[in-house]
Amino acid sequence: MGGGATRLYGTLTQTLGSSPLPLPPSHQPADTNLDPDFCQGSSGCPPDRVELLRQCKEALSDRPSRFHRTFVHLSDGDSAPSSPIRVMQWNILAQALGEGLDSFVQCPLEALSWARRKYLILEEVLTYRPHILCLQEVDHYYDTFQPVLAGLGYSSNFCPKPWSPCLDVEGNNGPDGCALFFDQSRFELLDNMSLRLSAMRIPTNQVAVVTMLRCRSTGRYVCVAVTHLKARSGWEWLRSAQGSDLLRQLQTLVQKHGSGPADDPTADIPLLICGDFNAVPNEEVYRRFTASPLGLESAYKKLSQDGLTEPEYTTWKIRPTGECCTTLDYIWYSQDSLRVDAVLDMPTEEQIGPNRLPSFSYPSDHLSLVCDFHFKEKE
């Protein structure tokens, strides 16, 4: 390593060497209760989808209109399947960071309040109704997302960061982390795990949630991962190392479970890897995923005319340091086993508006990515 990388490595070792391990996914803080806004009557149960949409509409009655986003349907001559698998990837912006550390200078404080944002976030999820939902910067898992989405038929797993910057914000709701939800009517849970990503065998502060699922309608297996890599310029080498560690662990997992004959549902288990990589498309970690022996492709390249180019942006915000408009978020998939049927397009600059994100009409500085997939027929 060069001198700069050596200093960074030393800093990493000192900073993370004594960090606590992530909380077990089953751990729920003792003082956490369901958000009272989402309780129904004396039962204390979360609302169903119809009631939840009604609550969102009522709570957001004074907000500007939502972005109008449409699905771009892809066709290579085959008819689209009747029941695609819908996957949603989204960094929802941790509440403590939005109000405390991220300094969105053009966003009114009222638009950053949890009282408003929670409805915007849930409305976005309910609008697209994904079968698989991958979220980053989740700091209201136990009191909001887990109980509310469980009431809608989702099972989930959550892994907090070992050290979350949310904890430095007064009045925080606990650490942020990654969460993976799946529709139990569509998938059966086979296995799940939480990973603390490493760099050069040193545990880092970034995590991933990995879930092995079986599709109830086809019997096919799919391995889904959600992650959030290290942010900021100067840490490109760390993101690359974290990405390599995740790829290595996923390859070991699918090889372990996918060693059966061709007609076995565990053979050639496809991967879906969603995340905020904090990396632009010309960064090393992106190239590592593209060149991986796992045969991965980025779904949102399908929006481009040549099928080779990522969108211009998945995040667009204004901070004291200036305006940031770039692509950091991805849905990677196994192109030999899965096919992309549709991709949700990006809002235009005009729709986003001059003050950028977040805003009264949108709760995060990152845009949600939504894709429809189906399993390719085995040869």
pLDDT at 28 over 80: no
Q: What percent of the chain has pLDDT over 70?
A: 85
Q: Which contacts qualify for 301-305: CB closer than 8 Å, 24 or more apart?
A: 302/72, 302/74, 302/340, 302/343, 303/72, 303/343, 303/345, 303/346
The whole-angstrom separation of Cα 41 and Cα 45 is 8
Class of domain 84-375: alpha beta
Strands of the chain, DSSP E: 71-73, 85-91, 132-138, 154-160, 177-183, 187-199, 202-215, 221-228, 271-276, 296-298, 315-319, 322-326, 329-334, 338-344, 369-375
Residue-wise pLDDT tens digits, 321-348: 999 999 999 999 999 999 999 999 999 9
pLDDT at residue number 45 = 74
Residue-wise pLDDT tens digits, 160-193: 999 999 999 998 999 999 999 999 999 999 999 9
pLDDT at residue number 210 = 98
Residue-wise pLDDT tens digits, 196-235: 999 999 999 999 999 999 999 999 999 999 999 999 999 9
pLDDT band at 370 (very low <50, low <70, confident <90, very high): very high
Contact partners, residue 379, CB within 8 Å, separation at least 6: 262
Are 273 and 300 contacting, i.e. CB atoms less than 8 angstroms apart? Answer: no
Contact partners, residue 22, CB within 8 Å, separation at least 6: 159, 160, 161, 162, 177, 194, 196, 207
pLDDT at 19 over 60: no
Residue-wise pLDDT tens digits, 267-278: 689 999 999 999
pLDDT at residue number 103 = 87
pLDDT at residue number 2 = 42
Mode of pairing for the β-strands spanning 202-215 and 315-319: unpaired
Any idea where the domains of the chain sit in the sequence? Answer: 84-375
pLDDT at residue number 267 = 60
Closest to 347 measured CA to CA, from 29, 32, 142, 65: 65
Tokens 């979360």: give the residue: 46
Are 66 and 363 contacting, i.e. CB atoms less than 8 angstroms apart? Answer: no
Are 300 and 292 contacting, i.e. CB atoms less than 8 angstroms apart? Answer: no
* 14 three-class SS: helix
For residue 272, which amino acid is it? Answer: L
Residue-wise pLDDT tens digits, 286-308: 999 999 999 999 999 999 999 99
* 122 three-class SS: helix
Mean pLDDT value across the chain = 88
**Helices 49-59 & 114-128, crossing angle to 10 degrees?**
140
H helix intervals, the chain: 3-16, 49-59, 95-100, 114-128, 146-150, 236-257, 284-290, 349-352
